[in-house]
Amino acid sequence: MTSSISIPMTSTSHSNTTLLKPNQNPFLFGQSLLPKPFSFAKRRVSVTPIRASLSAAKESVLKDFHERRALKIISGLQNFDRENVASVVTAADKGGATHVDIACDPDLVKLATSLTSLPVCVSSVDPAAFPAAVEAGALMVEIGNYDSFYEMGIIFSPEQIINLTKETKKILPSVALSVTVPHTLSLPDQIKLAELLEQEGVDIIQTEGGKCSNPSKAGVLGLIEKATPTLASAYSISRAVKIPVMCSSGLSAVTAPMAITAGAAGVGVGSAINKLNNVVAMIAEVRSIANSLGISSGKLVVPEEKALRL
């Protein structure tokens, strides 16, 4: 039996924001942090380069999505095992991924940034937890990766997700924001929520569905069956919004290229990597997925292009 989760909303004032150390991460420095003694004229001169810098940094993080070649490796929203997270981050770095997604914990962010120069994304359903992780070095935040909550019978309503999004945008308006659309919604409702999220200024829509899929076949057929729900969401949502869509959950080297063909700007892979028991196997799996997307050669290759070369 499922229940709808209730997330307490904590408002964050500008005075709280000024307690952060902006020099540790450019995304934390904005107009609201300028010294109060400055005159209005001086603020106008100072804010322009700051905004330009923030915009450039954000665009750098989103570049692979706009080029439709992003590969995000996910360690898990509630995975705080430092050894496992370190292995996943190392695999992402060595295997050819473009981004890595970890639990929203400042210490884990510092660990990740010590192991890779890839943009680090943090996942949470608590907007108040994001600033500390961003201060520690995270360059993207994700409202989502709900799989672990489903196992507890907890689901998220569209209203709650919109509220979480608004709160996050209020706290960190200049940080790249990805929001997952739950597979627990019907496909038309997923599309409607995605459109509302786009209106709220979300940068990336992420799909899911692997957890709800129970393949009846083994091998390649089973891999395709498992990916079907998230592929269907990516296809439908990518045609309804203009922002990039990341297809995630239940993907593999077999189905990752299908996601791009379906309209996704990138893929997110979690369990296929973090379920492996050693970093060498993890690196090999990430590399296999990256190769299937043509990322290692700097050019994404979709199935139609492969066929033309035969």
Which sequence spans correspond to the domains of the chain?
39-309
The pLDDT score that the predictor gives to residue 147 is 85
Query: How high does pLDDT run on average in the chain?
Result: 82
d(CA 10, CA 171): 10
pLDDT at position 69 over 60: yes
Angle subtended by helix axes 82-95 and 106-115, to nearest 10: 40
Residue 278's pLDDT is what?
A: 93
pLDDT of residue 218: 76
Using the predicted structure, report yes or no on whether residue 164 has a pLDDT greater than 80: yes
Say how many residues make up the chain: 310
Q: What was the pLDDT predicted at 276? A: 92
Q: What is the pLDDT confidence band of residue 189, given thresholds at 50, 70 and 90?
A: very high
Take residue 116 and report the two structure tokens written for it: 């890779």
Please provide the CATH number assigned to the domain covering 39-309: 3.20.20.70
Q: Is the pLDDT of residue 31 over 50?
A: no
Helix, strand, or coil (residue 216): coil
pLDDT tops 80 at residue 305 = no
% of the chain exceeding 90 in pLDDT = 65
Least confident stretch, 107-111, 129-133, 174-178, 271-275: 271-275
List residues bridging with 92 in a β-sheet.
Answer: none
Whether 182 has a pLDDT exceeding 70, the answer reads yes
What is the structure's pLDDT at 148? 84
* pLDDT of 37 strictly over 80: no
State the average pLDDT over residues 14-27.
38
What's the pLDDT score for residue 13? Answer: 37
Confidence of residue 157 (pLDDT cuts 50, 70, 90): very high
**pLDDT, tens digit (0-9, with 9 covering 90-100), for 233-264:** 999 999 999 999 999 989 999 999 999 999 99
Kindly tell me if the per-residue pLDDT of 18 is higher than 80. Answer: no
- Given a cut of 60, is residue 113 above it in pLDDT? yes
232 vs 192: CA distance, rounded Å: 15
What is the pLDDT, as a whole number, of residue 210? 60
- Answer for the pair 22, 29: CB distance below 8 angstroms, yes or no: yes
pLDDT reported for residue 309: 37
Once rounded to an integer, what is the mean pLDDT over residues 71-85?
Answer: 96
pLDDT value at 9 more than 70: no
- Mean pLDDT for 219-227 is 90
| Rounded Cα distance, 8 and 133, in Å | 19
CA dist 182 and 177 (Å) reads 16
Residue 9 or residue 155, greater confidence: 155
Q: For 83-90, what is the mean pLDDT?
A: 97
pTM of the model as a whole: 0.79
